[in-house]
Amino acid sequence: MPKKLAQFFMKKKEEAKFKLAGPGRKLNAEPQPTTSQKKGKETYVKPTRKGLGMEARNAAAAAMARCTKKDTKEFNTSLAAIQAQVRRELEAERRTKEESSKAPQSDQVQDERRNLAVQGVYFRCPLVSDEILPKSEWRMKIKEFLYDQLNNEDSGLSACLIIQNCNTKDKADACVETLTKYLENIINFPDDEKYRKIRMSNRIFSEKVLHVDGAIEFLHAAGFEQQEIDEDTFMVYFTKPEDGTDQLQMLLDALMCAEKINLEIDRNIQVLLPSQAKKNQLPQDFFRVSLEELKREQQLKTEALESSLVLKTKAMRDREELRMVNRYRYTLIRIRFPDGVYLQGTFNVYEKFSQVHEFGQSCMKHENLEFHLVGPTGHKFDEEDMDKSLYDMRLVPNILLIFSYDDPDSAPPGNYIKEELLMLIQPL
């Protein structure tokens, strides 16, 4: 694990140097236009994939792992079997509608979670483990992981990450600023004794360092030790000036480049039949506000609209739409294939549409065939849409996209989705 932490910091330092190098340029690209010239539009280049994509493999394995605890029957993934199942469900849906129109609908109390389109939002953290967990569980697991690393030789690196990941941003920033000043004073004035002692009762130390997770551990790793002097407690730096300050400089660099450990959203791939795709209710994890607050606000707006005859302008409608979109952190994307099967994945609202396209491509049985996705309004997404975020395109909070080959006549027979993913279909 210490090797992973060292690689993490090395990557952050390389990223910082890369950002300072200016905008990127391909070696085989044409010369960059001057500011007086009109910039050409960047085009989206579809990625080429071989075999099942890493994202699809990971998601398939994760989904299969989640399903192993359930009693499942063998499911026939042949094209004929799936088409027959789809026809049966559509016919059953038609009969249900006919019967409901003749008889009054009875009150049924159902488990709320069974009506959810997805049970939650899950994440990965390769630095810590290969598990797939909710964000709340990851925060505790990351904290435990980092504190375990304090027993290793790279305890200073672990302490830097603890400061960033186990405290609020304001507390972490104030602590980093103070610790940076302590270390810089010793590096710049190695022979000055006053910079080698920090009074722990000092107001700045008490407010910005003492109660911050990882701060005391960082000072210990830097060479400070707690000592009683004249009935007062100090953190004292005992390393001799002639021993140099290389260790302090290394820790200072780590402190400056340490960041929060980012979680990677798991697509939580699901393959659904038409009846299973009826569930559109989203879990609380998708919202920035609580579901109860959202429902209450929507009810108030509905009542206000009913009691008002004021016509809304386009600007008013746009503002209201924007307020609605801003309530969501994630969006549920479903792709419906011509055979009636749905592919479902979870995305951050700020991910690019190109990532949705790649997601669909990675799950296709024939990845090399060109295809396009069509929105619910009939809009065919093209290369100009690939670099736009799902937030900007208003593909929030859940959206249904229609899959179609660019040349329908060249579509091969059989299933559209890979056999490995069709195994994820849960029998009814």
Please state the domain extents for the chain: 47-94+113-122+266-287+328-428, 135-257, 288-327
- Give the model's pLDDT for residue 73: 43
* Selected residue with higher pLDDT from 97 and 220: 220
CA distance 131 to 94: 42
In this prediction the pTM is 0.65
Could you tell me what percent of the chain has a pLDDT over 70? Answer: 65
Rounded percentage of the chain residues whose pLDDT exceeds 90: 42
Lowest mean pLDDT segment, chosen from 57-66, 111-120, 268-277: 57-66
Q: What's the pLDDT at 412?
A: 83
Place of tokens 């229609």: 402
pLDDT in tens, 72-84: 444 455 556 666 6
User: Beta strands 398-405 and 342-348: pairing type?
Assistant: unpaired
Task: Give the mean pLDDT of 206-219.
Answer: 95
CA distances for 375 relative to 210, 287, 371, angstroms:
54, 23, 14
Which is more confident, 400 or 82?
400
CA distance 416 to 400: 17
CATH for 47-94+113-122+266-287+328-428 (3.10.20.90, 3.30.390.10, 3.40.50.80, 3.40.50.1580): 3.10.20.90
Give the span between the Cα atoms of 150 and 366, in whole angstroms.
48
> What mean pLDDT comes out for the span 373-402?
92
The answer on pLDDT for 93 being more than 60 is: yes
Q: What is the mean pLDDT of the chain?
A: 79
At residue 41, the pLDDT reads 44
Whether domain 135-257 has CATH 1.20.58.2190: the reply is: yes
Q: How far apart are CA 237 and CA 231, in angstroms?
A: 18
Structure tokens at 266: 């798991």
